[in-house]
Amino acid sequence: MIGRIFKWVFCAALSVMVAFLVLVTGIVALLDLDEAKVTQLARFFATMRFIESEYVDEVEPAKLIDGAISGMVRSLGDPHSAYLDPATYRKLKEHSEGTFGGIGVVMGFDDAEVRVISVMEGTPGAAAGLLAGDRILRVDGEETKTMEPEVVAASIRGEAGTEVVLTIGRTGEADRDYAITRDHIRVKTVAGRMVEGEPGVGYIRIVQFSENTAREFKDALASLKGEGMQGLILDLRSNPGGLLTSCVEIAKEIVPAGLIVSVVERDGTKEEYFSELSSGTMPMVVLIDGNSASASEILAGALHDTGAAELVGKTSYGKGSVQVIMPIPGQEDAVKLTIARYYTPSGTSIQGTGIRPDIEAELPENATEDMQLKAGVERVKIKMREAGPRS
């Protein structure tokens, strides 16, 4: 009897071990784990178990995993890849759905500093007294220097009627908190006009690339051509980017026939976008600065590389990468990961380096005249004379 029990227990234990080994083997195969990866996973679980059992205070396992995932993504050294905790991920989803309001400011991001570039008239930001040049130090008590740019934007945005508290740093004044009630912001992303006192010179500013930007640009371009525009100043300063599709649609209106941009993944897979513009382009100058990023750099790079325009201003931000957001299965958090890079028509990657202008032009903080625009106008006038009259 004892022998049969022993045999039964032995067989049961053996079955469990075999089943465990099959499970582990299946997991190893599913995750494509080699010996080195298995060794690293063993290090991870041993450390996790040591912390759980020996740390002086009790620790939530989920908190350890969150920290591990966040550290894993940070170890890539990529400023545009990030772990999105549930609260951050929820804010980003609300931002992308476009159903929430804001305060009406355009922000610039440089050296972990967030500055107000401009304040839209008639918005909560203007009513609160925010000024161009203000530094946004904290959003609802959280320091902006520790936040991704899109997280800063998503945190400032929110449901119309709710309040956000910004801690503002202003030259010559003590830091101060501004409690601002969000509202629905209706933003036109393109504005065009003829430059006063400069016959034939048109000016178009694009503040970002959203769903309606391409249509707005086409309308502005057609209107200025109807007013006799012979040369164009395209202002992409402080444009943080936006939709690639919108950028490409605009490029098709002003970039000569040929390649606009290439999107290249890790394995070499390439997606290319082309212009089929049949008519010639008019003399053009593009204004850029350190806050011109992503899609604005793509457009500036395409115009520059194809010889359609000269660049005036300061070196651009240098965001030439594509990110996707992967929700973590069964959870409310996600990982934002860089999966590809943009390349201009000449095959240049702008990631981390930006685009250098053909003509360097400063814009001092307290300038009474837009010297970058002035330099652009002078340059486009020269190009117009060289091109001769257009029919």
- Name, of 70-79, 184-193, 228-237, the range with top average pLDDT: 228-237
Distance CA 236, CA 295 (A): 10
What pLDDT score does 361 carry? 93
Q: What does the pLDDT read at residue 234?
A: 98
Which contacts (CB < 8 Å, 24+ apart) does range 376-379 have? 376/233, 376/285, 376/287, 376/312, 376/313, 377/195, 377/198, 377/201, 377/233, 377/285, 379/285, 379/310, 379/312
Better-scored residue on pLDDT, 384 or 291: 384
Q: Report which of 387, 353, 358 is spatially closest to residue 372, judged by C-alpha positions.
A: 358
Average pLDDT of the residues in 263-275:
95
pLDDT band, residue 307 (cuts 50/70/90): very high
- Is 218 assigned a catalytic role? no
pLDDT average, residue stretch 158-172: 91
- For helices 86-97 and 149-156, what crossing angle results, to 10°? 70
pLDDT at 2 over 60: no
Tell whether the model's pLDDT for residue 381 goes beyond 60.
yes
Of the chain, the percentage scoring pLDDT greater than 90 comes to 54
Evaluate whether 175 touches 209 at the Cβ level (below 8 Å). Answer: no
Residue 21 corresponds to which amino acid? L
**Has residue 15 got a pLDDT over 60?**
no
279 labelled catalytic: no
pLDDT at 147 over 90: no
Instruction: Tell me the pLDDT of the chain averaged across its residues.
Output: 86
Q: If pLDDT is split at 50, 70 and 90, which confidence band does 99 have?
A: very low
Q: Decide which of 136 and 10 is more confident.
A: 136
Residue 152 in this model has a pLDDT that exceeds 80: yes
- Check pLDDT > 80 for residue 1: no
Point out the catalytic residue in the list 155, 238, 246, 294: 294
Tokens of 75: 């170890």
- Residue reference for tokens 């036109």: 188
CB 223 within 8 A of CB 190: no
Q: In angstroms, rounded to a whole number, what is the distance separating the alpha carbons of residues 352 and 190?
A: 27
Q: Which residue has the higher pLDDT, 108 or 302?
A: 302
Which of 242, 195, 236, 249 has its CA nearest to residue 355?
236
pLDDT at residue 299, as a whole number: 97
Residue 20 is predicted with a pLDDT of 45
Residue 339 has pLDDT above 50, yes or no: yes
- Domains annotated for the chain, with CATH where assigned, are 87-181 (2.30.42.10), 190-387 (3.90.226.10)
For residues 352 and 375, give the distance between their C-alpha atoms in angstroms, rounded to a whole number: 26
Q: Select which of 319, 321, 333, 336 is catalytic.
A: 319
Whole-number Å distance between alpha carbons of 8 and 17? 14
Report, as an integer, the average pLDDT of 181-208.
91
Tokens of 116: 């107000």
Look at residue 109 in the predicted model and tell me its pLDDT.
75
Band (pLDDT 50/70/90 cuts) for residue 241 is: confident
> In the predicted model, what is the mean pLDDT of residues 301-328?
93
Q: Which of 95, 117, 114 is nearest to 106 (CA)?
A: 117
pTM of the full structure: 0.74
Q: In angstroms, rounded to a whole number, what is the distance separating the alpha carbons of residues 78 and 339? A: 11
* pLDDT on residue 25: 55
Task: Look up residue 146 and give its DSSP letter.
Answer: G
Segment 355-371 mean pLDDT: 88
Residue 152's CB: how many other CB atoms inside 10 A?
Answer: 18
What mean pLDDT is predicted for residues 65-93? Answer: 86
Q: Which pair of tokens denotes residue 348?
A: 């240049």
Q: Among residues 305, 333, 336, 381, which one is catalytic?
A: 305
pLDDT over threshold 50, residue 282 = yes
d(CA 13, CA 25): 18
Distance separating alpha carbons of residues 129 and 119, to the nearest angstrom: 9
Assess whether pLDDT exceeds 60 at residue 97: no
Provide the pLDDT for residue 23. Answer: 46
Is 333 noted as a catalytic residue in this protein? no
Q: Is the pLDDT of residue 47 over 70?
A: yes
- Return the higher-pLDDT residue of 267 and 363: 267
Nearby residues of 107 by Cβ (< 8 Å), 6 or more positions away? 114, 115, 116, 117, 136, 149, 152, 153, 240
| Structure confidence at residue 203 (pLDDT) | 97
